Structure formats: structure tokens, C-alpha cells
Amino acid sequence: MPTGEIVVIISTTKRPAEVVCKTSLVNNQMPPLYITDIIACFPTLPEPLDGLRLVHLTDMHIRGYGVTERRVRSVLESGGDMVLCTGDSCWQTRIGNPLVDTPAFEAGRQSGFSREGLTFAPRTAIALMVWRHLLDRLSFPLGVYVISGNHDSPEFLDELPSLGVHVLRNETVALSEHLQLCGLHGASRIGYDIPAALERADPNRFTIGLTHFPETAPALAAAGVNLILTGHTHGGQICLPGGRPLTTHSRCGRDYLAGLAHTGESLVYTSRGVGYSLLPLRINCPAEIVRITLRRDRQENTRLVQKKLP
């Protein structure tokens, strides 16, 4: 797809619309990165939040400050009211045992060999260095918020506040009279505690939920979370033509694989993520950064465009 071409994708069901962008690895080049701009419409959005701008990052799997990270920085420089990251900033190599199911492996070891497979330590120092560069001399009125993914080390999460980043750990924080932010925490689905995360939530505030694993979206929607941002799947990363993934790394099949979906009155967006696992390769599944503008409008007017970054 030529630089500058725009793709419009709209979905009104929990299964996202097919991603029509095609991406492949060019010799000695990183896969392209797209910017996805969403107008997210909610008929009950409090008027003071109309026009609020969010930047959603996920699954960066940082290996250094390179071309991709400079593109992320350029998007952050374009501004926003807050930055939200739904996990997996750290690069970590895991080689799973195909004969063993993975719940314990996802929960698990920082490094070493076990029956679930071979795990190398997360690159914590590199991830922190890159986050420092990404945020250097930038400010966002409502702040920067991060939750854990299944590759982020405890040391990485503990050090983020020194960079001015807020880490949410199964909790809800009020950002204004009209807005609150819920973040789920855990190295696996087992660690998530949705009742605890929403225990102090105010049902009269508009709620944005951050979760690494998209399987939790229906539960958050049932609990009244208005906008749910998630990642983890990479959109499949390697897909057949039409966006059909070879694997989803989720427990809900192709539901919430990538893109927009509606669950009741809630809007879910599963980002394909910025980075990649194992190989620097994406096929029929381009990487993305997401920008969301909230609007007080009918839900069916929600729309998005995607554009390839230079």
C-alpha cells in the first residue's frame, strides 16, 4: 500500500472487521507502522470529555531505540491528553513447549528452562531507556498510564514511576469529576482481579479500561466499562490474505483479535501493537499506533481511518 493511502474500517460486532492493509517484510527494513485514528462515539459521554484525545500503545517489545521507536516518538510529539499503554513494553524471548498448554508458562519464570519451555530474561534496562527517550520533554495533561503485559518484568514496572509514568495494578483511579481509568494487572490472566480493580469505581463517571488480554473485555463491559483498550494478540502478526491469523495467542479465538468491536454499550479496541514476537515479520497484519478522540454522539457514528507512517 503506498504511503499516504487511507483505509476506513468500521465494525459494530464483537468480531472485528477484517484488516485490509497488507504488510510484508522488505529486505533489511522494518515492517511498516500505521497510525489508526478513531472517532469513538458514546451517546452518554459527559460533555466536558467531548474531544478528549488518547494515544494507545501496546506490545512494543522494545529491543532498542530505532526507526519504530522514532516513529512512536513523532506520534507522541503530535500531542494528546493522555497516553495509555496496555502492556508488553519489554522484549523477552520465550520458546514454548508445544506439548504443554501455557497458562503456567504465561504466569511464570523470568528466565530459565522448565517443562513449559525456555524463557530468557526481559530486557528491562533497554525498555526503561526507550521510555525515557519517548517521553523526554513531553507532557500530557492527564498523564501517562501503563499496565503489565506477560513479558514485562516487575523491575520495569517498579521503575516506571521515576519517569513520571503511572502503573495501574488492578485498580481504578479518578482523573476528573467525569472520568476514571481502570487498569488490570498480572503476568497472566490468572492474576487479573476485576472485582478488586473496580471496587472503588464510580458508576457515574465515564470509565476507560486497560487490559492486556482481550478475553477480559466482556467482563469489563458487563461491569459498565465504557471504552476498553487491549492488545496481546498482535492481530495474529502473520495472517493469511484477508487477515485470517495462523494463531491468535488468546482464549477467545478470532473474537477481539484486532480492531473495533462493540460489546453491549461498550466499545472495545484491540490494537495489533507496535512490535512483534520472535521474528521482525508481519504479513497481512501491519503494526499500529492508535489515537482516539472521544465524541458525544450516537455509537453507530464511531469510525476510524488508518494511514501508513513515513
Domain ranges of the chain: 8-308
For residue 63, give the C-alpha cell: 529491543
Q: Give the pLDDT score at 26.
A: 39
Q: How far is 146 from 161, CA to CA, in rounded Å? A: 10
pLDDT per residue, tens digit, the chain (310 aa), is 333 444 444 444 454 443 333 333 433 456 799 999 999 999 999 999 999 999 999 999 999 999 999 999 999 999 999 999 999 999 887 766 566 655 444 544 456 666 666 777 888 999 999 999 999 999 999 999 999 998 999 999 999 999 999 999 999 999 999 999 999 998 777 779 999 999 999 999 999 999 999 999 999 999 999 999 999 999 888 888 887 888 777 777 778 889 999 999 999 999 999 999 877 889 899 999 999 999 999 999 999 999 999 9
pLDDT, position 7: 43
What pTM was estimated for this model as a whole?
A: 0.87
Residue 23 exposed, middle or buried by CB count within 10 Å (0-12, 13-18, 19+) = buried
Burial class from Cβ neighbours inside 10 Å (0-12, 13-18, 19+) for residue 173 reads middle
CATH for 8-308 is: 3.60.21.10
Q: Tell me, what's the pLDDT at 4?
A: 42
Residues in the chain: 310
- Pairing between β-strand 82-85 and β-strand 144-146 as defined by DSSP bridges: parallel
What is the reported pLDDT for 279?
Answer: 78
In the beta sheet, which residues pair with residue 90? 62
In the prediction, which pLDDT does 115 show? 63
